[in-house]
Amino acid sequence: MSRRKPSPIEKSENFKENMKKLMIVLKEYRVVLVIIFCTSALATLLNVAGPMVMASATNEMVRGFLAKMNGNGPGINFTLIIEILGIMLILYGMSWGVGIIESILTAKVATKVSFQLRKKMIEKIHNLPLSYFNEQKYGDVLSRITNDVDVINTTLSQTISQGVSATVTVLGVLVMMLIISIRMTIVAMIIVPVVGIVVTGIIKKSQTYFTRQQNYLGELNGIIEEDYTGHNIIKLYNREESRLEEFNETNDRLRKTSRMAEFISGLMMPIMNIISNIGYVLICVLGVSLATSGNLTIGGLQAFMQYMRRFTQPIAQLGNILNELQLTAAASERIFGLLEEGEQVHYVTGPDVPVDNIEGSVDFEDVVFGYEDNKIVIDGFSASVNPGEKVAIVGPTGAGKTTIVKLLMGFYELNSGRISIDGHNITEFSKEDLRDEFTIVLQDTWLFNGTIRDNIRYGRLDATDEEVYEAAKTAQVDYFIRTLPEGYDTVINEEADNISQGQKQLLTIARAMLAHSSILILDEATSSVDTRTEIRIQNAMDKLMKGKTCFVIAHRLSTIMDADLILVLKDGNIIEQGSHSQLLSAGGFYSELFYSQF
């Protein structure tokens, strides 16, 4: 496998546009979000009021102490101080209670949004054309559904309340500072533009690395998925080292990119602390000067110093939130990129053609198709198949045999031409009705994690157990199933590697026999079974094919000698057609293929 080149550093294509799309998703939760904003703001204001209340207690203690020392007063009024402390306790208690409500609502919104996004993405995957998966790595698609949605979840659960709290804190603290001392507030505000410059610079630098981080993560998941599903082939060809090297290279790029992203964003707090401390020193000098001159109370100085600490912290917090939003924008871009992919539409506007009485005649008229516009695979294919006929499609590898049946089932859109069933263009059927008319057995078997009974019943979900057993018997797999300890309740694991390839093929054939459809497609359906079993299955297939239009793709020409029509494909075109005897008599390409096998 070719070694991947490092990707260039890229920013999110459109930060504002991606965040706007996320806001649209959040629109249905606007009532809850308003409550979250209000509760977060209320909890923050209650906290902001704390130092000002504490200033009253401090001033009372200073006043009482000085009065006692000078002998001209009763001293400290502890009753008043206890009342003030009680007020503070109520304020902080209310802040804590409101904060709990806000946390519960925030978690609810974050989890619901993640749930909805994953639901929409899975629904989208089931509606995407196969061409999309020809261009995308499965691991990258998986990463969008898992990692990228997790980023959105984390952002919503953390930054919503933090953003509101930080904003309200900055505004609330600024008001309190102005009330205490306008001159000290002006000095404190000198650090704001410095903070803004630092935050902006860090955000611009870190956003590119956060985008790369998400892309590398998707690439790494793609490699893991390939290695896991293809581990047998990797071991067979002794490619462990090369695959490990490729994984390590991508993992190292992810590590370096993540390190840079975290390092640059991590500079935020240390730099902010330095700026804050410098401002703190200036405020201390000015505050002491004002206090000694009688223009500021001790309590006011103490409260202002607390507010000064609280003023720079939320500004830095807002910077961190903006930094996190860069990663969120990158994740949103990948999520909405999937959700906005064009879906496969192969039906026309208007009422769908009913499929109640499909007879099974099929016509291909000048079909032209290419997976890419400049690479035509099927060029001018035409053929007519009568209801109930058995049609064999043969030809060399890459001739377009499997592509023909994929086009028939509407998996891809034609470049030009027409495919009709019973005289109706397949685009006139709904995709569900169209595919209900097909039963297909592929060369590559697919079984899901579940019991053998459920895997066979997948062909028709309302089938009874007796119908499942009968289908298994007809497919020559019933005896094997009953030899298993759990019989039909034996669970096939996720990789379906606890049964042999031939046994898997027999199960898929049994599944096909259970389905009721008018058109049957067999794509090398018996390629994984021995010759003796193949003969038995062919006999069973003959029963299954009765009354159905059948398309059989085969390399073993012995299995299609009784076909009503044999289409010989080469380079996407029919070069010969006729019965087995007719094609042998012609002495053409089919004859060469046949005698090369015997």
* DSSP secondary structure of 357-418: T----EEEEEEEE-SBTTB-SEEEEEEEE-TT-EEEEE-STTSSHHHHHHHHTTSS--SEEE
DSSP 525-590: TTTTS-HHHHHHHHHHHHHHHTTSEEEEE-S-GGGGTT-SEEEEEETTEEEEEE-HHHHHHHTSHH
The β-bridge relationship of strands 450-451 and 491-492 is antiparallel
Whether residue 161 contacts residue 102, with contact meaning beta carbons closer than 8 Å, is answered with yes
Give residues with Cβ within 8 angstroms of 514, minimum separation 6.
456, 457, 459, 460, 463, 467, 468, 471
SS3 518: coil
CA angle 193, 198, 201 (to 5 degrees): 120
Distance between CA 484 and CA 591 in Å, rounded?
A: 44
Instruction: Judge if pTM exceeds 0.85.
Output: no
Per-residue pLDDT for the chain (598 aa), expressed as one digit of tens each? 333 333 333 445 567 787 888 888 888 888 888 888 888 888 878 877 777 777 777 776 766 666 666 666 666 777 777 887 888 888 888 888 888 888 888 888 888 988 988 998 888 888 887 777 777 777 778 888 888 888 888 888 877 777 777 777 778 778 877 887 788 888 777 777 777 777 777 777 776 787 788 778 878 877 887 787 777 777 777 778 888 888 888 888 888 888 888 887 777 777 777 777 777 777 777 777 777 777 777 777 777 777 777 776 777 677 677 767 777 888 888 888 888 887 766 555 455 566 667 788 889 898 888 877 777 888 888 888 888 888 888 888 777 888 888 888 888 888 888 888 888 888 887 777 777 788 888 777 778 788 889 888 888 888 888 988 888 888 778 888 888 888 888 888 756 566 777 778 788 888 888 887 888 888 876 666 667 767 766 776 776 677 788 888 877 777 788 888 888 888 778 888 888 888 888 888 888 888 887 6
The β-bridge relationship of strands 416-421 and 565-570 is unpaired
Residue 46 burial (CB count, 10 A): 20
**CB hemisphere CA count around 190 (13 angstroms):** 14
SS3 2: coil
Report in angstroms the alpha-carbon separations of 595 from 538, 579, 583, 588, 598.
22, 16, 12, 11, 5
